[in-house]
């Protein structure tokens, strides 16, 4: 099995090395490639030479037998030439060998030596002296042949091991490219610091690796959150367009004389009058409210109920529908105070709040949230209490028993990671989730009491 895997890996690396070596020859000799290679724009031919050399070296090392002195001499010499061509040990302008031969010639000669090393390793009987003489003559002939292939007007490629390595890292892990240079500098400083003993140096490098892993994990979470927010933004924009169409269609009011010098205004066939209570303002049965709620809840289609014996227990789909309704309303809400002249709370019916473009105070917000959730099957109530700035009202939705609330919390935690969720329980052990301006967070409300509960309670 191991031999079979070695053979497969040898075929793959050998094929890749051969193809990349041919492409390298074409690039360095100024020929046109048979197909585009976008990644070459990242670091020019440096990346191509580095990957081709790596594949060729692995292919040569995968030989299973006869690794004797001729193999190692040729293999090491080939690797050294490729690294010299990539400035592994310093700037090539100051390199003694590169004063006589171009970088690209050194790279291609290194490929040839790696191929020879593999062929040498496959021979059972080989004279070391004759082999080294033959390799020397073949290398010299290769240099002459490769030099002849390069046009006289061709400018020498500026090859760099660092550029090729960084481009390879960026291909394998795109986010890593931004901090590779800083990490290199940090590691170089550690290696050059003679005041550190080897154990301290290893400890600092180990700590650096741990920090990198944490950074990568945080980056993955950030990318996931950004993608999720982008998807939600697109959904909200689509919903906004649908809601605007519904509001424009439903906001066409009709008026007629009342015969007493006044005007009677009707909206959706209903006479427009000021309502006096939450009970009259919460209107889940109005077509506009139902359409509005269904449009939002349809992002998470499915039954609202758990069907576990509790007639109003919320299913996972139901919890997602609650989040969709609340997140849209709270995200689009425009706060506007009640008129001061009436000396009392102004209760805006839910359908008129939709027609007004989702605007009003906390009473109106509570009415609309409760109406929309009840329109898709939910059980809600509106609570009231005192705050430092005065009176405040907020809606709550019935979730169900402990099992239902535990399932709901898992969904809420995914939608709002890190948020501490607040709730209350009733005498029967039912859990009520706060739907204040932020889902699961009470703004205030000392001495809270129930102001509205149509299902299972009274106003």
pLDDT band (50, 70, 90) for residue 143? low
pLDDT band (50, 70, 90) for residue 99? very low
Task: Map residue 266 onto helix, strand or coil.
Answer: strand
pLDDT at 127 over 90: no
Name the most confidently modeled range: 83-97, 117-131, 200-214, 375-389. Answer: 375-389
Name the most confidently modeled range: 6-15, 32-41, 47-56, 399-408. Answer: 399-408
Q: What is the CA radius of gyration of the chain?
A: 37
| Cβ–Cβ under 8 Å, residues 374 and 454 | yes
pLDDT band (50, 70, 90) for residue 326? very high
Which comes out higher in pLDDT, residue 90 or 280? 280
Alpha carbon distance 408, 319 (integer Å)? 6
DSSP bridge partners of 338: none
Q: What is the DSSP string of 379-399?
A: -EEEEEEEETTEEEEEEEEEE
Domain ranges of the chain: 2-172, 174-233, 254-452
Which comes out higher in pLDDT, residue 317 or 168? 317
Q: Which contiguous run of DSSP H or E holds residue 223?
A: helix 198-250
Looking at every residue in the chain, the average pLDDT score rounds to 76
Q: Measured in Å, how far apart are the chain's first and last C-alpha atoms?
A: 77
pLDDT tens-place string over residues 247-285: 665 555 555 555 555 545 565 555 556 777 898 899 999
**Core vs surface per residue 215-249: b (16+ CB within 10 A) or e:** eeeeeeeeeeeeeeeeebeeebeebeeebeebbee
Q: Which two tokens stand for residue 249?
A: 């269609």
Which comes out higher in pLDDT, residue 354 or 160? 354
Q: Of the candidates 143, 144, 52, 152, which has an alpha carbon nearest to the alpha carbon of residue 106?
A: 143
Alpha carbon distance 184, 445 (integer Å)? 55
Region label for 106, one of left (φ > 0), alpha (ψ between -120 and 50) or beta (otherwise) = alpha
pLDDT band (50, 70, 90) for residue 347? confident
Q: What is the DSSP string of 121-144?
A: HT-SS--HHHHHHHHHHHHHHHHH
pLDDT at 459: 42
User: In the chain, pLDDT over 70 holds for what percent of residues?
Assistant: 61
pLDDT at 156 over 60: no
Q: Of the candidates 422, 412, 428, 420, which has an alpha carbon nearest to the alpha carbon of residue 448?
A: 422
**Helix-strand-coil percent breakdown of the chain, rounded to 5?**
60, 10, 30
Alpha carbon distance 61, 108 (integer Å)? 19
Please count the other Cβ atoms lying within 10 Å of the Cβ belonging to residue 284: 20
Which comes out higher in pLDDT, residue 239 or 67? 239
Alpha helices in 298-416 (DSSP H): 316-332, 350-355, 362-375, 402-415
pLDDT at 26: 72
pLDDT at 14: 79
| Cβ–Cβ under 8 Å, residues 360 and 347 | no
| Cβ–Cβ under 8 Å, residues 377 and 318 | yes
Catalogue the long-range contacts made by 208-211 (C-beta closer than 8 Å, 24 or more residues apart).
208/183
pLDDT tens-place string over residues 187-243: 566 556 666 666 776 677 677 776 666 666 666 666 666 676 666 676 667 667 766
pLDDT at 433: 96
pLDDT at 92: 47
pLDDT band (50, 70, 90) for residue 445? confident
CATH, domain range 254-452 = 3.10.620
């Amino acid at each position: 099995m191991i031999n079979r895997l070695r053979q497969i890996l040898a075929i793959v690396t050998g094929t890749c090395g051969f193809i990349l070596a041919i492409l390298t020859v074409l690039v360095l000799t100024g020929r046109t490639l048979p197909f585009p290679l976008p990644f070459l724009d990242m670091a020019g031919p440096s990346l191509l030479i580095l990957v081709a050399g790596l594949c060729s070296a692995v292919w040569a090392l995968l030989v299973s037998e006869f690794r004797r002195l001729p193999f190692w001499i040729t293999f090491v010499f080939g690797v050294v030439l490729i690294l010299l061509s990539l400035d592994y040990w310093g700037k090539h302008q100051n390199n003694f060998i590169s004063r006589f031969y171009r970088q690209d010639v050194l790279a291609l000669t290194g490929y040839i030596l790696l191929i020879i090393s593999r062929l040498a390793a496959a021979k059972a009987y080989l004279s070391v002296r004759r082999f080294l003489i033959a390799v020397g003559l073949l290398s010299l002939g290769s240099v002459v042949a490769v030099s002849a292939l390069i046009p006289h007007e061709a400018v020498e490629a500026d090859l760099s091991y660092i550029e090729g390595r960084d481009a390879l890292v960026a291909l394998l892990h795109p986010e890593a490219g931004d901090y590779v240079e800083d990490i290199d500098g940090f590691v170089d400083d550690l290696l050059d610091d003679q005041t550190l003993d080897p154990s301290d140096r290893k400890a600092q490098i180990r700590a650096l690796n741990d920090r990198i892993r944490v950074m990568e994990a945080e980056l993955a979470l950030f990318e996931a959150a950004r993608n999720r927010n982008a998807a939600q933004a697109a959904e909200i924009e689509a919903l906004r367009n649908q809601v605007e169409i519904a509001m424009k269609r439903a906001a066409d009011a009709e008026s007629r004389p009342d015969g007493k010098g006044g005007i009677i205004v009707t909206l959706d066939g209903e006479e427009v009058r000021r309502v006096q209570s939450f009970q009259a303002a919460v209107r889940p049965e109005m077509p506009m409210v139902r359409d509005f709620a269904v449009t939002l809840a349809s992002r998470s289609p499915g039954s609202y109920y758990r069907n576990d014996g509790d007639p109003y227990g919320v299913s996972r789909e139901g919890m997602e529908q609650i989040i969709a309704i609340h997140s849209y309303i709270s995200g689009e809400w425009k706060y506007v105070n009640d008129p001061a002249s009436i000396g009392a709370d102004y209760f805006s019916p839910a359908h008129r709040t939709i027609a007004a473009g989702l605007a009003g105070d906390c009473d109106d917000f509570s009415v609309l949230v409760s109406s929309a959730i009840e329109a898709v099957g939910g059980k809600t109530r509106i609570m009231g209490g005192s705050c430092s700035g005065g009176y405040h009202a907020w809606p709550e939705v019935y979730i169900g028993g402990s099992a239902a609330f535990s399932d709901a919390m898992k969904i809420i935690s995914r939608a709002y990671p890190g948020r501490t969720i607040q709730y209350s329980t009733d005498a029967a052990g039912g859990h009520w989730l706060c739907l204040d301006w932020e889902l699961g967070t009470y703004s205030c409300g000392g001495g809270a009491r129930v102001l509205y509960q149509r299902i299972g309670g009274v106003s």
